[in-house]
Amino acid sequence: MADNLKPVPGLPDKFLKPYDSVGTEDRVYEAWEKSGFFNPDNLKLPSDAKPFSMVLPPPNVTGQLHMGSAMMLAIEDVLTRYKRLRGYRALWLPGTDHAAIATQVVVEKKIQKEEGKSRYDLGREELLRRIGTHVSETHDVIIKQMRKMGASLDWSREAFTLDEPRNLAVRTAFKRMYDDGLIYRGYRVVNWDPKGQTTISDDEIEYETRKTKLYTFKYAAHIPISISTTRPETKLGDTAIAVHPDDPRYQALIGQEFEATFAGEPIKLKVIADQAVEKDFGTGALGVTPAHSMIDWEMAERHHLPLKPVINEYGKMIVGQEGVRDKKTTEAREAVVAWLKENGLLEKEEEIEHNVSLAQRTGGLIEPLPKLQWFVAVNKPFKLKHSSIPGLVAGTETTLKEMMKLAVASGETSIIPDRFQKIYFNWIENLRDWCVSRQIWYGHRVPVWYRGQEVHCDLIAPDGEGWRQDEDTLDTWFSSGLWTFSTLGWPDEAAFEKMRQYHPTTVLETGSDLIFFWVARMILMTTYLLGEVPFRTVYMHGLVRDNKGRKISKSLGNNIDPLDMIAKYGADAVRMSLIVGVGPGSESKIDEQKIKAYKLFANKIWNITRFILTNTADFKKAQSPVIDWRNIENQEAYPSRKIHLAWLQEFESTLQDITTDMENFRFYLAAEKLYHYTWHTLADKILEESKPMFSSNNPLEKAATQDLLLSILTRLTIALHPFMPFITEEIWSALPGNDQSLLMVQHWPE
């Protein structure tokens, strides 16, 4: 369809040129904000309008958003705008995450690079001041990006995981769990990051496959059992040798004890039998190092073995002969292997591929170390105070793990796609007590005070002299776990009651990589504190990759900045490129050409609108001979009736399919069908067939064509709005009879 750029009476001047996303989007977003309709309290709805609620997964205040963030915003805005058009009291609640370790690491690196100083040089107060400045700056950038994406968030309710209301919620949650015996301070093996000088959770570890050596050796010539390990330096801390109880090779040795000096360190080893040993792997025997392995720690607890730390917080050996003691573990390993060779104890050395544990935020090599930390007990029974979850009865005993399982198993919360439910249950089954304390300064401080042997946990500091607060802060996921209800006023009961209609939230849309970090933590905290689930449906989206299927990263040079793409092609094009063809949980590929293709689609919609408005400029329905063209059966008076009915039927059938897809979270299919109908059915077929009808001498036929195409355009514009809100809002303002009303609060076409 060729562009017609000649002035047409009644046609707005903006349609005399191609669609200008740059000149449109900021102006349209400002109009949306000024209307106040992002806040459901301002929507003109009947009193019985159903609520729809969703919290934004708060982006980390560590830097700018990326294409994965853009996909999240696009999907969630599609859902919110659709529900708003369906007449729901739609609340999409915004916020940002302090992302404790990640944010502190970013600021510390900057200070070290620019000033050569560490956090200890600055002190706690000054470091926190510097972090606060950084957070304020990055927050403003992130909020700007969200607006650029067209996110219709209720900014009047914006929250921050480290603001005062959230801090009160964290302290309240901690105290309740402490009083119920579900939070305890214990000496256990944890994941220690020597680079960040803090503990991290199992879920914050990244695994990298590296080539390494597997060594098979004996501790001493008189010990008749050989073991294999990739870390011989840790064997200075061994307190046992474990074998399988059914392994005939070692039956006679079970229960025996051996003493030796290993690389300068005296060791005492007891041979134990444990089902966890794989008798067909290696020599079928394991050196048990309770202080430096979570698995060995659990084995030591079962067999009452002593704990012997040999590595410190800086990843250095604290025992052993010269060349081992005070050395980094990698250096000490070489020295221990050399000692084994000198003493004729090394039997085999082979190269293998091995998974190495790295701290996600700092890249530090994880060292399992025994530390005094705060834990949430997931297996400890406690009396349930209240519950609306089937299978969980108030007044009876349960565990946090059981509550987490039943929340999903009962159907109170469903996860899309289904395969993630199995992943969720597998993770719950293997869940250990959650270490929630961190040795960093940025975050919610543990609300516990000490004075001598006295320990006090409360919302505020205790009265009297000599009390000192715990130095540790809480895992960022502890505060994020309260997100769905702390943002609605909890623990202020009166404030929460006013927002009660929005909880449990309707949907949680988030990345599939957060099912353990965040989804499970929210279910844990909400079921315990409120006795209900945090959300009814979890919709998981996959990773966004480049056109070669590679993960997008700065190091690969394949990062695509959403703001750059918006400036070049418009937010609507970026949104469509991230949604079409991408099912829930599926990884997607993105490149500039794909975004450009949807810029062309936006232009096609603009051209369709111009064509229809140009050819209906003289149409006045009230003065038209058309009363209801569908009921006019006189073939001579109205020869195009069958064609028009076919057009209408095809459109309404498409609309019905799209509505069904939207209701079932198939946004990718709905977007694809809208694209196909708009471009290939409406533009390529219907508008071409309509041209003779517009020039017809039959006023009825012309008026009926005008009436039908205006109706299709109007309803199609509404249906496209959740996906392409900017161009559709701009078109809506030019459609006849709209009286300056905003498209975002119209009614979804039935």
* Structure tokens given for 296: 């060995």
Q: Kindly state the tokens that stand for 5.
A: 């750029």
CB of 234 within 8 A of CB of 318? no
Is the backbone peptide bond immediately before 40 cis, with ω within 30 degrees of 0?
Answer: no
* Global model pTM greater than 0.85: yes
Residue 161 to residue 168: CA distance in whole angstroms: 11
Cβ atoms of residues 609 and 731 within 8 Å: yes
Query: For residues 746 and 480, what is the distance between their CA atoms, to the nearest angstrom?
Result: 34
Question: How far is the C-alpha of 391 from the C-alpha of 409, rounded, in Å?
Answer: 10
Domain ranges of the chain: 198-372, 586-745
Letter string b/e over residues 154-173, b meaning 16 or more CB atoms within 10 A of that residue's CB: beebbbbbbeebbbebbbbb
The tokens describing 148, both together, are 């650029």
Amino acid letter, 122: L
Q: What is the pLDDT of residue 146?
A: 96
Rounded Cα–Cα distance for residues 235 and 442 (Å): 36
The type of residue at 519 is V
Cα angle vertex 391, ends 390, 393, to 5°? Answer: 95
**What pLDDT shows up at residue 630?**
66
SS3 category, 380: coil
May I ask the CATH class of domain 586-745?
mainly alpha
**What's residue 529's pLDDT?**
97
CA separation for the pair 327, 323 (Å, rounded) = 7
pLDDT score of 635: 63
* SS3 call for 144: helix
The gap from C-alpha 664 to its chain's centroid, in whole angstroms, comes to: 21
pLDDT of 546: 74
Only one residue has tokens 């067209």, namely 150
What per-residue confidence (pLDDT) applies to 641? 85
Closest CA to 323 of 309, 315, 333: 333
- The pLDDT, as a whole number, for residue 625 is 46
- Please list the ranges in the chain whose pLDDT falls under 70: 1-6, 551-558, 621-636
198-372: which CATH architecture?
Answer: Alpha-Beta Complex (3.90)
**DSSP class of residue 328?**
B
**What tokens appear for 595 in the block?**
């975004």
